[in-house]
Amino acid sequence: MIFLLLLPFFGLTQEYRFHLFTQIHEIIFHGNGGYDWNTIYHMPIWLRKFTFNKIKEYHDSQNKNTQAEDSWTNQSKSQNIKVPDFINKSPQPYQTKASRK
């Protein structure tokens, strides 16, 4: 009797393992020290996905705020600003040795 299974055992595919470990890494890295690997690995799947999505939403909102601030800063920089006179002057030459008198 021949069975036509892709895997000879019931385990995780390489693609699923990659996504699992990527998700665990992202939660630990962006969790700011609030989680360790063992806790996340043994966390129920629904809770791990929920935690991952909440951290992702937080960082996405932070990126939007940063982009909004950058666009506001770029608009203010586009205006002409007068450079102070002391910046355009060349520096005064200095002597390396004191004069003897």
- What are 22-68's pLDDT values in tens digits? 999 999 998 888 889 999 999 999 999 999 999 999 989 988 888 87
In a domain, 6, yes or no: no
Structural domain for 46, as ranges: 12-55
Contact of 52 with 26, CB cutoff 8 Å: yes
Matching residue, tokens 């699923």:
16
Contact of 51 with 32, CB cutoff 8 Å: no
What confidence tier does 5 reach under pLDDT thresholds 50, 70, 90? low
In a domain, 34, yes or no: yes
Q: How many distinct structural domains can be found in the chain? A: 1
In a domain, 28, yes or no: yes
Contact of 48 with 19, CB cutoff 8 Å: no
Alpha-carbon distance of 56 to 14, in angstroms, equals 24
